[in-house]
Amino acid sequence: MTDLVQLGSKLGRYRLQFGLEEREVSERTGIPTESIKLIERGLQAPTGDQLLILADLFLCDYKFFLSNERLAPFEQTESLFRRYGQDLSREDRWAIQELLFLCENEEFLQDALGRRPKMIPAFTPRGAYYKQQGWDAAGYVRGALGLADKEVVQDPFPLFRSLGLHVFRRRLENSNISGVFIKHPLAGRCVLVNYDEDPYRQRFTASHEVAHAILDADEPEPTISFQGPDGDLREVRANAFASAFLVPPESIKHLDPNLLSEDAFLDLCNRLMVNTQTLIIAFKNFNGVSENVLSRFSHLRVRRLNKPDPELGPDLTSTSRERRQRLLEKGISFQYVRLCFDAHREGVISLPRLAEVLLLDLGETLKLMASFKEVPQYAH
């Protein structure tokens, strides 16, 4: 039997997580404010429809409210918001909740379609030097992905997803937030990259958060990575991983920065698809080049117009590019869209459920399907 007091407590904690008043919940759901108050106090049981509406509002499984035990997914966001509350606007809290919703959906659809990626064996760091641990882990992951020693990763996002990680990009209101890593008890390792950053920085952020997923998955607390230096050794290790993953040492060991002009240095940044600071650090770490030698490059910046987004290929029409970019800004990758469409075509999810997992209304979903030449499957 459902504990109404616990149900009400969950609802109230969710509401407070997202900074909503009872009145706002009422306006968004159509449930009277007085009923919201009574439900939260455990004095009134919600109807079945009300429960579904509330679960839809907070992007969670309605069973979460009915269960007297299932708290873990909720506690992850509660812990995250408590720890970083001053840095997260209401909009960013919803963005993170949507991330977890997408991750749960992706996990379910991959299982239902038999497409769940195989996780690589766990990596065990050695020694006490955190930078070396990051470099070693980068070499391990590159090897697991079958990358050659000098091979430059053009598009890291599908590669990371192939490791069984849930990687989504989403525009966040706080531009100082680079990424988020959460170990979700149901979906597993989840990564959010701030789409507000430039494409090269997003590649670095994704690699940084994947380092947390590989090296810090057993930590109890979710993490948010901010722009700028951080003295936390785990952040140092994650940066070392990202640098070695994107700029493999073998790709620059033969180069002498003394012989590089500024234009040649910027050209190398574009070939590696990294910002100047990342390349400077790589030269310092892997070539043993002094800071004095590298200081003449420190003022250089790669123009944002020269930074292609790997998930917005050059072969796209302007209409397709605009549509894909709108989806990415909402956190929805092309791979995820294809997975959802395949699940709908194979009868795993209904048309209304398809709209729900795409975070769209039915009309928007039908337009998106038409652009992909997908045929809606209506129940008979």
Share of the chain above pLDDT 70, in %: 96
Contact 163/117 with Cβ under 8 angstroms? yes
The answer to whether residues 34 and 96 belong to one domain is no
Residue 202 has pLDDT above 90, yes or no: yes
Tallying the residues shown for the chain, one arrives at: 380
- Read off the pLDDT of residues 329-348 as tens digits, 9 standing for 90 and up: 888 988 999 999 999 999 99
The answer to whether residues 246 and 108 belong to one domain is yes
The answer to whether residues 46 and 101 belong to one domain is no
In this predicted model, which residue has the larger pLDDT, 180 or 229? 180
Question: How many C-beta neighbours within 10 Å does residue 4 have?
Answer: 16
Q: What does pTM read for this prediction?
A: 0.88
The rounded distance, in Å, linking the Cα atoms of 239 and 315 is 32
| Burial group, residue 279, by CB count within 10 angstroms (0-12, 13-18, 19+) | buried
| Domain-located, residue 200 | yes
| Domain-located, residue 271 | no
Do strands 188-194 and 177-184 pair parallel, antiparallel, or not at all (unpaired)? Answer: antiparallel
- Read off the pLDDT of residues 27-58 as tens digits, 9 standing for 90 and up: 999 999 999 999 999 999 899 999 999 988 88
Q: How far apart are the first and last CA of the chain?
A: 35
The rounded distance, in Å, linking the Cα atoms of 192 and 94 is 13
Q: Which of these three, 254, 269, 292, is where a domain ends? A: 254
pLDDT of residue 133: 95
Residue 152 has pLDDT above 80, yes or no: yes
Q: Which residues contact 211 (CB under 8 A, 6 or more apart)?
A: 134, 137, 138, 237, 238, 240, 241, 242
HSE toward the beta carbon, residue 88, CA cutoff 13 A:
25
| Domain-located, residue 231 | yes
Measured at the CA of 158, the angle between CA 212 and CA 95, to 5 degrees, comes to 60
Q: Kindly state the average pLDDT of the residues 230-235.
A: 82
| Burial group, residue 218, by CB count within 10 angstroms (0-12, 13-18, 19+) | exposed
In this predicted model, which residue has the larger pLDDT, 222 or 199? 199
| Domain-located, residue 32 | yes
The answer to whether residues 16 and 122 belong to one domain is no
- Place 113 in a pLDDT band, splitting at 50, 70 and 90: very high
The answer to whether residues 108 and 228 belong to one domain is yes
Adjacent-strand bridge partners of 189: 183
Q: Kindly state the average pLDDT of the residues 307-315.
A: 78
- What's the number of domains the chain is made of? 3
The rounded distance, in Å, linking the Cα atoms of 261 and 258 is 8
Sheet-wide strand order for 223-226:
166-170, 188-194, 177-184, 223-226
Question: How many C-beta neighbours within 10 Å does residue 149 have?
Answer: 12
pLDDT of residue 380: 47
pLDDT of residue 275: 94
Share of the chain above pLDDT 90, in %: 49
pLDDT of residue 73: 62
Name which of 167, 162, 161, 165 is nearest 179 in CA terms.
167
Residue 72 has pLDDT above 60, yes or no: no
pLDDT of residue 69: 61
The answer to whether residues 9 and 114 belong to one domain is no
Q: Which of these three, 222, 254, 286, is where a domain ends? A: 254
The rounded distance, in Å, linking the Cα atoms of 369 and 374 is 5
Here the tokens at position 171 are 């525009």
Q: Which of these three, 254, 281, 305, is where a domain ends? A: 254
What's the CATH code of the domain at 51? 1.10.260.40
The answer to whether residues 115 and 248 belong to one domain is yes
Contact 100/190 with Cβ under 8 angstroms? yes
In this predicted model, which residue has the larger pLDDT, 85 or 5? 5
| Domain-located, residue 20 | yes
pLDDT of residue 183: 86
Q: 208 is in which domain, residue-wise?
A: 90-254
Do strands 177-184 and 223-226 pair parallel, antiparallel, or not at all (unpaired)? Answer: antiparallel
Q: Which residues contact 121 (CB under 8 A, 6 or more apart)?
A: none
| Domain-located, residue 109 | yes
Contact 347/191 with Cβ under 8 angstroms? no
Q: What is the mean pLDDT of the chain?
A: 88
In this predicted model, which residue has the larger pLDDT, 310 or 360? 360
pLDDT of residue 68: 66
pLDDT of residue 230: 67
| Domain-located, residue 40 | yes
| Domain-located, residue 187 | yes
Element containing residue 180 per DSSP (H, E): strand 177-184
Helix, coil or strand: residue 302: coil
pLDDT of residue 71: 55
